[in-house]
Structure 1
Amino acid sequence: MTTEHFTEPEPALRAQGLHKAYGKHKVLRGADLNVLPGQLVAVVGENGAGKSTLLKALAGTLPVDRGEIELAGALGYCPQDPVLNGNLTVEQHLRFFAAAHRLTNLGRGHQLVSSLGYEQYRTARAGELSGGTRQKLNLTLALLHDPDVLLLDEPYQGFDWETYLRFWDLVDDLRARGKAVVIITHLVFEQDRFDALADLTDGRLTPRSASKEDSNAGA
């Protein structure tokens, strides 16, 4: 008789003891976060709690005062405010970002545009798009290179209901393919969609359960 030993996979994202202050205002006070491959985690907090600061730190666009961040694989980052060139079309954005990531074709980008339902705007300039469609492009660019770790800051802001559902279909596909996904939000309407939730309060992350029972209790 043999005994099999199962070891937990290494985190795709590991953050330990993150501290960040703006002058005397301490935003992060030792925040810790581990996300496994194929895991979907929500970071929840009130407006002004430091959620975007945390995500920028995890993405490497904002240096922390103290702490360590480790990533396994490629990173995709979707900030809350789209960083787009209003004079470029959707297709030109795809080509520009594909070149930046050294992708040989736009197959992935066109698939994402179709999945999010905005094919008719491929030749439209970003400056002419509605806020919701700009956010679709923002998300598409973050996913274009099929990253291993995806950081999303209020990703469905401005989405209509159909696009909101399409978004979750995309997330389900990412999880099934072993991607680690972190979603920043101030409200969680469907807690059972997540594998784990963490409250950002007083600059620290506190894990809490993500279950249908919890979601129903808060309804």
Structure 2
Amino acid sequence: MDTQYAVEVDGLTKRYGPLTALDRVSFGVGRGELFGLIGPDGAGKTTLFRLLTTLLDPDEGRAAVDGFDIRTDYRKIRERVGYMPGRFSLYPDLSVGENLSFFAALFGVSTGDHYDLIAPIYRQIEPFRTRRAGKLSGGMKQKLALCCALIHRPSVLFLDEPTTGVDAVSRSEFWDMLARLKERGISMLVSTPYMDEATRCDRVALCNEGKLLGIDTPQGIVARFDEPLYALSGENMYGLLLEARRAEGVRECYPFGEAHHLVTAPGFDPQRFADALVRKGFRGVTVRTAEPGIEDVFIKLMRHE
């Protein structure tokens, strides 16, 4: 397979009995690229990561990581990748420093061999180096897990929903850390259910039910949305949602932040729609033009799948 790619996937398929968890997936990740896999739980993101890190064998297709085949070169791949699973997987009874030393020993390195790579992250948790990992906050656990995944200076880093359950500030800090790692030339695959995080990636793949719905830059993904879109808000948001889904000219209505997004047919009159809702007793109704985001494109692709 082509060595210009950090990761190359061709027709990769994985089944669990009657369930097809991954269905003929194909894509490539360039060297030094920050590539995002965006999709809900059950989309196949974790299965894909387990295949690429050689923890599972595929039923069909092939893939290469750093130029090595996942079926035949698994030992070489394991030496070259870092993997941060979705759940905190370090040893809760070991201290911060002990966890780091343990993972360094697994790869035959010392904690000082590649300290320059982890230093910007480790300095934030170093004051707690004697604290047991199980007693750390969610954000601190996340930083420790990233340090352990980087301790051997991997060429490709896999991060499976690393910010799930972490507060907004820690989420932002984590993506800042990934941006700095990208500057060091590390290729990264990051999965997330958060659509807003997709904008921090070079390219993203939208995933659902084991399939890829589209791959592009975040801007290219958003550019695919070509339908009239409005934001609906007011009192009794649940009632507004039900009314909008029954309204003529509304193709789709779904919660979006503090409003509902309306995908409408050509000729839809937002003022007439708002007036009709007011006549039905709804108060504070506003219907305004909305800018589409990646989540809107994702919903559109699912609707047309």
TM-score by length of 2: 0.63
1:165 alignment counterpart: 172
Q: Deviations 1:56-109 (Å, cap 9, x if unpaired)?
A: 111111221122121117111110012122221110011111111222343355
Q: Deviations 1:9-54 (Å, cap 9, x if unpaired)?
A: 7001111111111111111111112111111111111221111111
1:93 aligns with 2:168: no
1:5 alignment counterpart: none
1:217 aligns with 2:292: yes
Summarize the alignment of residues 4-19 of structure 1 with structure 2, pairs less than 5 Å apart. 10-19=4-13
Q: CA deviation at 1:176?
A: 1.8
Partner SS for 2:171:
helix
Equivalent residue letter for 1:169:
D
Give unpaired runs (5+ residues) of structure 2.
67-76, 224-290, 295-305
The alignment of Structure 1 onto Structure 2 pairs a total of residues equal to: 210
Q: For the residues of structure 1 that align with 2:175 and 2:209, how far apart are their CA atoms?
A: 30
Q: 2:215 aligns with which of 188, 195, 207?
A: 207
Equivalent residue letter for 1:33:
F
- With over 3 angstroms needed to count, the CA separation of the structure-2 counterparts of 1:105 and 1:48, relative to structure 1, is closer
Partner SS for 1:77:
strand
Q: CA deviation at 1:158?
A: 3.6
**Structure with the higher fraction of residues in helix conformation:** 2
- With over 3 angstroms needed to count, the CA separation of the structure-2 counterparts of 1:213 and 1:47, relative to structure 1, is closer
1:81 alignment counterpart: 87
Equivalent residue letter for 2:90:
L
1:3 alignment counterpart: none
Q: For the residues of structure 1 that align with 2:198 and 2:206, how far apart are their CA atoms?
A: 13
1:148 aligns with 2:155: yes
Q: For the residues of structure 1 that align with 2:111 and 2:145, how far apart are their CA atoms?
A: 19
- With over 3 angstroms needed to count, the CA separation of the structure-2 counterparts of 1:29 and 1:212, relative to structure 1, is closer
Q: For the residues of structure 2 that align with 1:202 and 1:84, how far apart are their CA atoms?
A: 29
Which segment drifts farther, 171-180 or 101-110? Answer: 101-110
Q: 1:112 aligns with which of 93, 103, 121?
A: 121
More relative contact order in 1 or in 2 (CA 8 Å, sep 6+)? 1
Equivalent residue letter for 2:192:
T
Which segment drifts farther, 41-50 or 183-192? Answer: 183-192
Summarize the alignment of residues 39-58 of structure 1 with structure 2, pairs less than 5 Å apart. 39-58=33-52
Q: For the residues of structure 2 that align with 1:207 and 1:196, how far apart are their CA atoms?
A: 7
Q: Percent identity?
A: 34
Which segment drifts farther, 181-190 or 167-176? Answer: 167-176
Partner SS for 1:142:
helix
Contact 1:89-1:125 within 8 A present in 2 as well:
yes
Q: CA deviation at 1:217?
A: 2.5
- With over 3 angstroms needed to count, the CA separation of the structure-2 counterparts of 1:127 and 1:104, relative to structure 1, is closer
- With over 3 angstroms needed to count, the CA separation of the structure-2 counterparts of 1:186 and 1:142, relative to structure 1, is same
Partner SS for 2:195:
coil
Contact 1:38-1:178 within 8 A present in 2 as well:
yes
CA RMSD of aligned residues (A): 2.4
- With over 3 angstroms needed to count, the CA separation of the structure-2 counterparts of 1:161 and 1:49, relative to structure 1, is closer
Partner SS for 1:47:
coil
Q: For the residues of structure 1 that align with 2:125 and 2:110, how far apart are their CA atoms?
A: 23
Q: For the residues of structure 2 that align with 1:58 and 1:82, how far apart are their CA atoms?
A: 20
